[in-house]
Amino acid sequence: MRHQELKQIAKWFLAAGVSDVTGEVSAVQRKSNRSIATLAELKESMMAVDISLKKCARNMVFGSGNEHAKVLLLGEAPGEEEDKQGIPFVGQSGQLLNTILAAVGFDRTMVYITNILPWRPPGNRTPTNQEIEVFRPYVLKHISLINPKVVVCLGGTATKSLLQTTQGIMQLRGKWTSVEGISAKILPTFHPAFLLRSPSQKKDAWHDFLEMAKEIRDE
Ligand code: URA
């Protein structure tokens, strides 16, 4: 798309009062032009994103774990406890995640964890499509900087966002897939919060994590 056309589209959004979108798009373009080369630069760049979402949040939740991990777990967005501590998956869902990891011989020092959104949506609401779009380029950059062998998508929102699909998690879970721009193999599975509500699905999630562990051991 030519520069002139992009400017027209940006103007159209501005005229429609969608200042968030135009602000974010230009921020992402500015940063990608500067070519982010480290996690510290990525974090700084994400901190600078001007989005109303962060006005309600206490801390940005960037990511945690082993920066050289072969496995990256991708969640949805911080909850209350994550927002307080600035660390992903430290609440109830995180405890279940730790248990699932332990069941397949892993722990938090062996994986890297981040989310689709770095800020807690007010009242834990589902991220909007607009918020997902704003942060997707950052998520892709985050994955490429960690450079894992496997990305496990936790839940429908993370899966839809990464794969840009409308298919639901029930259809996609447990099936290896890939996405343009990421060399890692991708495995969607259930979100731990869903498993807390629907314990009968734990069996399938455990199966998926076993697949992940097998993939890492076999490679
Ligand atoms: N749920 C998520 O998706 N991510 C977190 O960090 C915590 C809960």
Q: In this structure, what are the phi and psi dihedrals at residue 51, rounded to the nearest 5 degrees?
A: -140, 140
pTM: 0.86
* Burial class of 17 by CB neighbour count within 10 A (0 to 12, 13 to 18, 19+): exposed
Give the pLDDT confidence score for residue 63 in this predicted structure. Answer: 98
Residue type, 49: V
Atom of ligand 1 nearest to the CA of 154: 3
Q: What share of the chain is helix, strand, coil (3-state, %, to 5)?
A: 55, 10, 35
Full set of structural domains in the chain with CATH: 58-218 (3.40.470.10)
| Placement of tokens 């699905």 in the chain | 201
SS3 (DSSP) at 42: helix
Taking only the tens of pLDDT, the chain with its 219 residues reads 444 544 444 443 443 334 444 444 444 445 553 589 999 999 999 999 999 999 999 999 999 999 999 999 999 999 999 999 999 999 999 999 999 999 999 999 999 999 999 999 999 999 999 999 999 999 999 999 999 999 999 999 999 999 999 999 999 999 999 999 899 999 999 999 999 999 999 999 999 999 999 999 987
Give the pLDDT confidence score for residue 193 in this predicted structure. Answer: 98
Neighbours of 144 (CB within 10 A): 15
Report the interhelical angle of 92-103 vs 202-218 (nearest 10°). Answer: 50
Task: Report the run of H or E that residue 72 belongs to, with start and end.
Answer: strand 71-75
Alpha carbon of 176 to ligand 1 centroid (Å):
22
The preferred substitution site among 98, 115, 120 for testing ligand 1, maximizing ligand atoms within 8 Å of CB, is: 115
C-alpha dihedral over 97, 103, 106, 109, to 10 degrees? 40
C-beta separation of 122 from 132 below 8 A? no
Give the pLDDT confidence score for residue 21 in this predicted structure. Answer: 43
Give the pLDDT confidence score for residue 32 in this predicted structure. Answer: 55
C-beta separation of 212 from 112 below 8 A? no
* Per-residue tokens: 30: 């500015």
Bridge partners of 152, per DSSP, are: 73, 187
**Residue 115 Cβ contacting ligand 1 at under 6 Å:** yes
Alpha carbon of 124 to ligand 1 centroid (Å):
10
- C-alpha–C-alpha distance, residues 149 and 26, integer Å: 31
Q: Report pLDDT digits (tens) over 67-122.
A: 999 999 999 999 999 999 999 999 999 999 999 999 999 999 999 999 999 999 99
C-beta separation of 94 from 26 below 8 A? no
* Per-residue tokens: 209: 């994590």
Give the pLDDT confidence score for residue 20 in this predicted structure. Answer: 44
**Residue 79 Cβ contacting ligand 1 at under 6 Å:** yes
Task: Report the run of H or E that residue 13 belongs to, with start and end.
Answer: helix 3-15
Give the pLDDT confidence score for residue 94 in this predicted structure. Answer: 98
**Residue 83 Cβ contacting ligand 1 at under 6 Å:** no
